Amino acid sequence: MSDPEILDCRGLRCPLPVIELARRLPELPVGAVLRVLADDPAAAVDIPAWCRMRGQEYVGANGSGYDVRRLI
């Protein structure tokens, strides 16, 4: 698998990382993985919750990044 796209949201406070994720993910092809770099502690809760609400796949946390796969 190729390296995931990186979305750097470090320094952004919630809900901004989730908003940036919602903007960027639809620009990627279905099946692609986006790695969101975020240091706001709320991102660890809100990114998986967003995936659940939007029917996207939360792949997991990877270092300071959260991997999301576009399903729809």
Residues identified as active-site: 14
- Binding-site string for other proteins from residue 12 to residue 51, where x marks contact by CB under 8 A and - marks none: -xxx--xx--xx----------------xxx-xxx-xxx-
Least distance to other proteins from the beta carbon of 41, Å? 5
Residue 14 sits at φ, ψ, to 5 deg, of -65, 140
Residue (of 1, 2, 63, 59) closest to 21 by Cα position: 59
Given the DSSP bridges, would you call strands 5-8 and 65-69 parallel, antiparallel or unpaired? unpaired
The yes or no reply on residue 6 touching other proteins (CB under 8 A) is: no
Residue whose CB is less far from other proteins, 22 or 71:
22
